[in-house]
Amino acid sequence: MKEAITDDLLEMAIANWEPRFTANGVDVGDYARITHSLNHWDDWCNAWCEGAAQHVALGEAAWSEDRYLSAGECFSRAATYYHFGKFLFVHRPDQARIAQKNAVDLLNRSLPLLSPAGSRHEIPFETSKLVGIFRAPHGAGPHPTVLLVAGLDSTKEEFREVERAFLDRGVATFAFDGPGQGEAEATLPIRPDWGAVGAAVFDYLATLREVAINRVGVWGVSLGGYYAARLAAADLPIKATICLSGPYDFGSAWSHLNPLTQQAFEVRSHSSSPVQAAKRARLLNLEGIANKITSPLLVIMGQRDRLFPWRDAERLVNEAQGESTLVLLEEGNHGCANVVYQHRPLSADWMAGELRRS
């Protein structure tokens, strides 16, 4: 008989994360099997790494039989599992680093095998680098392109299903790790102003022949929705922006965030204490910024979001100066992962249409 769960962190994780995981590439059976085996939060990362290893083995078998597309899909899925093993597992940094390295290595291995294929790009930035994955739809370019911006605990390893929605509609994708995210989290702290980040990415994309640099949009989720709004407000040639479940004022939500999210922010903002982390959280605010957004904006929010109030989305839309649309999903949770069918196709359709406008 399975031991009863007495770990509050684990119980919270299992109860809330299934929609997000399964919407982004985790098999629903795997989620049930892996989480059912757990009794303590400390076992989380290892359990997901073991699950990832099973998909690596499937990928190796497919590779040995020249089934390269299947191999790429298996390696990419394994990368996602490794990512979800470490995404909020910041209290055991040694385990998290190993899981992240495996996630990065497996995604890199999968890229030439996917359809369409992907390529890894490194952009020098300040004292470090930003790493992104570029995928272009089949056919001749240059292509309209959307930047995929991760949040506090997501990274480029999580975005294969999001990429698929845009690629299917003829839009190329560039999913990248910014400051405090993924491959940059140890060297670049979370920062409120993303203007310089966006400038570095745009300068680099302008060198890629497959990118129509005058037709670039931004999509961001959770804290990435805040970053997307900051990019839209900066002096950058962004044609359209999608903010999914982003905060207007991260600091005002701080006291309501779960302890795993607070601890992850403390680590990834390079704060020395919870008190300093709370102060830095207050810097992530769109007041005086949102009214600088003049390009088309689509804001999507769930009314059952447990992290950020849906009124944040309403305020962003009201203050933006361009053509702005609010999609409020009554049943939506944080990230609206439990109703992904209601917003992911809509988002991809909207972005494709905006990037093709003359």
Active-site residue list: 222
Phi and psi at 159, nearest 5°, equal -105, 15
Instruction: Give the distance from CA 111 to its chain's centroid.
Output: 18
Angle of helix 223-233 relative to helix 195-205, nearest 10 degrees, comes to: 80
Torsion angle of C-alpha atoms 221, 224, 230, 232, degrees rounded to 10: -40
Q: Are 293 and 320 in contact, with CB atoms under 8 Å apart? A: yes
| Pairwise CA distance, residues 326 & 114, whole Å | 34
Torsion angle of C-alpha atoms 121, 124, 129, 131, degrees rounded to 10: -20
* Strand boundaries in 99-177, DSSP class E: 118-125, 128-135, 143-149, 172-177
| Pairwise CA distance, residues 220 & 162, whole Å | 11
Sheet holding 297-302, edge to edge: 118-125, 128-135, 172-177, 143-149, 211-221, 238-244, 297-302, 324-329
| Pairwise CA distance, residues 208 & 213, whole Å | 9
Question: What is the residue type of 267?
Answer: V
Phi and psi at 148, nearest 5°, equal -105, 115
